[in-house]
Amino acid sequence: MVRDDQVYLAHIKDALQQISTYTDGMDTDAFLANRMVQDAVIRQLEIVGEATKKLSESFRRRFPFIPWKDLAGFRDKLIHQYFGVDLTTVWQSVVDDVPTLLDELKRIDMSA
């Protein structure tokens, strides 16, 4: 693994961990009622997407089980459609995608 890829991967993992920390114990209603947590989660998702874009193409090809393109695309939606962000979709990503991604990134650690 190229050193830069290690750095970007660490940023991705850290951002996902932060999301888990920010939302620990929350349900949908609590998330939708808490603007500060919404903003914090969205920022961390932006970091995930931006760091994903910085990963080398060879690195991304080595780990096709990670939806790299989707991660980068979600970041673009958050940045460019900030006024129309669907918070329910963001919450579903927190619940469905963040834990799965963290588990998948552990697979990368073991195979790298």
Give, rounded to a whole angstrom, the gap between the first and last alpha carbons of the chain.
7
CB 11 within 8 A of CB 45: no
Q: Where are the alpha helices (DSSP H) in 56-97?
A: 57-62, 68-80, 87-92
Q: How confident is the model at residue 77 (pLDDT cuts 50, 70, 90)?
A: confident
Can you tell me the distance from the alpha carbon of 52 to that of 50, in angstroms, rounded to the nearest whole number? 5
Domain boundaries, the chain: 3-111
Residue 80: the pLDDT is 59
pTM (2 decimals)?
0.88
CB 32 within 8 A of CB 88: yes
Task: Go through the chain and tell me how many residues it has.
Answer: 112
Known catalytic residues are 75, 80
3-state secondary structure (DSSP) of residue 21: helix
Instruction: Give the HSE-up count for residue 109: Cα atoms under 13 Å, Cβ half-sphere.
Output: 11
φ, ψ at 26 (rounded to 5°):
-90, 155
- The answer on pLDDT for 78 being more than 80 is no
Q: How does pLDDT run across 18-48, given as a tens digit for each residue? A: 999 999 999 999 999 999 999 999 999 999 9
Q: How does pLDDT run across 81-112, given as a tens digit for each residue? A: 656 788 999 999 999 999 999 999 988 875 65
Q: Which residue has the higher pLDDT, 84 or 52?
A: 52
Residue 12: the pLDDT is 96
